[in-house]
Amino acid sequence: MITTGKRQLTSIEYFKLIMTIYIKKRWWLYIWIWAMGLFFLCLEKRGSFENFFLYFSIVFPLLFLFQNWRYAHSKDNKIFLLERYYQIDNEKIVGYLSDGSESLMKLENFNRIAQTKKYYILYLSKNQFIYFDKDSFKSEHDKIWFENEILMNIKKNTTA
């Protein structure tokens, strides 16, 4: 069993995390929107649809950024910003939050993993996840054990 160090996200770090997750899933959508916007911008004669799509290609990403910024800074999501640490073994992960609550998650309940430069992201459902800061492990040995035992176990269970 290993125990991670205590970590706490700020609302800006949480915003960056959810934006990274979303952009990794939907990068193609924004490329397509911007490509179509550039195409319509280059047209000599534009109709109302082309003008609408041109404005849409600018406004839609800005609205999306604003919506996620509000979500990350919402008081309703303060649980995501609480200090936490985890105890991890071969069968379960137990999270302990600074407000005194704890949650037990069996490894078999995780259905997908992802990584960013700074985090391991373990998904329980399509939009529900837990994150581990890559620097939160107390030693390099703990980090290697986590990667080899936990992440590989989850990958093996999801491909089977």
User: What pLDDT is attached to residue 78?
Assistant: 86
- 130 and 144 together in one domain: yes
Whether 57 and 89 map to the same domain: the answer is: no
Q: What is the pLDDT of residues 93-148, one digit of tens each?
A: 999 999 999 999 999 899 889 888 999 999 998 888 999 999 999 999 999 999 99
Task: State mean pLDDT over 46-59.
Answer: 88
Give Cβ neighbours of residue 53 (< 8 Å, ≥ 6 apart): 36, 37, 40
pTM, whole model, 2 decimals?
0.79
The strand pairing partners of 129, in sequence order, are 123
- Measuring CA to CA, which residue among 9, 2, 19 is closest to residue 97? 9
Q: Which domain holds residue 29?
A: 11-77
| Angle made by CA atoms 21, 39, 48, in degrees to the nearest 5 | 105
Res 15 pLDDT > 70? yes
Boundary residue ending a domain (77, 98, 114): 77
Predicted pLDDT at 159: 65
pLDDT of 155 reads 82
Task: Please indicate, yes or no, whether residues 17 and 73 belong to a single structural domain of this protein.
Answer: yes
Confidence of residue 62 (pLDDT cuts 50, 70, 90): very high
Question: Is the per-residue pLDDT at 49 higher than 80?
Answer: yes
pLDDT, mean over the chain: 89
**94 and 57 both lie in a single domain:** no
Residues 149 and 93 reside in one and the same domain: yes
Q: Are residues 71 and 100 in the same domain?
A: no
